[in-house]
Amino acid sequence: MATSLYPHARREGFIIQPLDGELILHDGEVTHLLNVTAASVWQLCDGHHSLAEISQELALPEETIVYTLQQLARKQLLQKNADAVLFSKPLTRREFLKKGALVAAAIPVVKTIQLPSPQDIPSNGGVCTCPDCTGVPTTCDGMTPCQVGTCIDGCCQVI
């Protein structure tokens, strides 16, 4: 494998959010969850670090870095320029696990996740604007009961 490879992560259009050492990449449609190994490699893919340097910096075997880069490239998380070199001899997961004497924690994982619906999220509640309000704007969204009256159509109605 070409150790002179300088992989470059694709960052444009992504919301990049840390997750206690892991990383979430979200582009509005697809969410990728990178575990600690995959996140560390991806963050060093700045076009300035060679494959060998990444391996050295993270104290991981080059096979692990290559396998991680292949996974990232498959999910289109790297710039295309590295593809030809990376996939000249692709590693299967089985081959990778056979080759590397790795602890489980260092196995790179890139998961692609279905986004939960925003409707599942409790809203911060709206302000009661109906004429029959109780006076104090109160959330009336089923989460907070009305101080007075009954919650009807988002308003605390006094009967």
Partner 1 sequence: MHTFRNGERGQRQDSARVANILRGAWRSVPPPLDFTMDDLQLALPLLQDASLTALAWWRIRRTPLAQTHAGVILRQEYVTQSIRAAAASHRVYQYVSALQAQNIDPIVFKGWALVPHYAEAGMRPAGDVDLAVAPYAAERAAQILRDLGAKPTEMDVHPGLADAAHAAYIPHSSWEEIYARSLQKSIGAVQVRVLDPADELQLLCIHFLRHLGARPIWLCDIAAALETRPENFDWTRALAKPPFTSWIECAILLAHELLDANLENTPLAARQTLPTWLVSDVLQRWAQPRTPSIMVHDSVFQIWRNPARWKEAVAARVPNRLAATLDFQGSLDEPFLARYQARWLWRRLTAFAERTVRRAP
| Among the residue ranges 2-10, 58-66, 83-91, 118-126, the one whose residues contact partner 1 (CB under 8 A) | 118-126
Q: What is the dihedral of CA 26, 90, 104, 51, to 10 degrees?
A: -70
d(CA 64, CA 82): 16
| Among the residue ranges 25-33, 37-45, 73-81, 96-104, the one whose residues contact partner 1 (CB under 8 A) | 25-33
| Among the residue ranges 10-18, 55-63, 64-72, 91-99, the one whose residues contact partner 1 (CB under 8 A) | 10-18
Give the nearest distance from C-beta 29 to partner 1 in angstroms.
9
Nearest Cα residue to 68 out of 46, 48, 105, 38: 38
Give the nearest distance from C-beta 152 to partner 1 in angstroms.
10
Is the CB of 20 or the CB of 59 nearer to partner 1? 20
The binder of partner 1 chosen from 34, 51, 149, 155 (CB under 8 A):
149
Is the CB of 84 or the CB of 148 nearer to partner 1? 148
Q: Does 15 bind partner 1 (CB under 8 A)?
A: yes
Binding mask 26-55 for partner 1 (x = CB under 8 A): xxx--x-x----------------------
Phi, psi (degrees; rounded to nearest 5) at 123 = -70, 160
Residue 39 and residue 21 in contact, taking contact as beta carbons nearer than 8 Å: yes
Give the three-class secondary structure for 11. coil
Give the three-class secondary structure for 39. helix
- Tokens 């196995």 label which residue? 107
d(CA 97, CA 15): 31
Residues that bind partner 1 (CB under 8 A): 14-20, 24-28, 31, 33, 113, 115-116, 118-119, 121-127, 129, 134-139, 142-151, 158-159
